[in-house]
């Protein structure tokens, strides 16, 4: 089948374009393939790094050593993996151990560090709620309210209100506390509602 003059012209234009551009097209394909392999390599590296961090976390937090050594291990881990979720979780464990040993001052420091290390609002809010509860146990009422202002995750709104009401009760502001507790009664979890009912009955 013979080409028409128009088809021959188009074919010649394609050949001419290919002759001028094939090198850059081949380079683009190679670079694109390299990008795919590079991305896969990066993903593999990140997965390996996460596994390594997880193993180091387990060793720092759950090793069978005395409390002082464990705290030293956790501090070293946090320093090496700062601003990560694992660093935050390690500090939450450190605070938990401190509370079990009735060392509320150390727990408070660990929870403040956990908030600073948290990579997102979810972990920061968890640490903040626990910090506010520790401060409440120490009758640091103004600090409780300041800490609760830093809790941004909406999931904890009812718990924030419950702790706020407890501060209001401790300060003798029963009328405001009642209003705050009633808001928790509407939106809080079953356990929070149960605690609120006890507090309201005691007003």
120 and 168 housed in the same domain:
no
With left for phi above 0 and alpha for psi between -120 and 50, is residue 140 left, alpha or beta? beta
Print the domain residue range for 123. Answer: 23-150
134-171: pLDDT as tens digits: 999 999 999 999 999 999 999 999 999 999 999 999 99
22-75: pLDDT as tens digits: 556 555 655 555 555 544 644 554 565 667 877 888 888 888 889 899 999 999
User: Which CATH number do you get for residue 47?
Assistant: 1.25.40.10
User: Which CATH number do you get for residue 191?
Assistant: 1.20.58
Give exposure, 125-141, as e/b (b: 16+ Cβ within 10 Å): bbbbbbbbbbbbeeebe
């Amino acid at each position: 089948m013979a080409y028409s003059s128009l088809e021959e012209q188009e074919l010649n234009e394609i050949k001419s374009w290919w002759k001028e551009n094939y090198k850059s097209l081949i380079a683009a394909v190679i670079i694109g393939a390299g990008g795919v392999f590079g991305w896969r390599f990066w993903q593999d590296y990140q997965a390996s790094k996460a596994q390594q961090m997880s193993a180091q976390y387990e060793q720092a937090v759950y090793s069978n050593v005395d409390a002082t050594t464990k705290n030293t291990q956790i501090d070293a881990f946090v320093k090496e993996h700062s601003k990560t979720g694992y660093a935050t979780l390690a500090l939450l464990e450190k605070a938990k151990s401190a509370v079990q040993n009735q060392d509320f001052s150390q727990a408070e420091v660990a929870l403040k560090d956990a908030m600073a290390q948290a990579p997102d609002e979810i972990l920061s809010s968890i640490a903040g709620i626990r910090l506010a509860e520790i401060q409440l146990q120490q009758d640091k009422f103004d600090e409780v309210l300041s800490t609760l202002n830093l809790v941004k995750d909406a999931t904890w709104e009812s718990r924030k209100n419950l702790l706020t009401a407890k501060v209001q009760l401790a300060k003798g502001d029963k009328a405001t506390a009642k209003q705050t507790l009633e808001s928790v009664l509407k939106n809080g979890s079953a356990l929070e509602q149960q605690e609120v009912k006890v507090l309201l009955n005691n007003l």
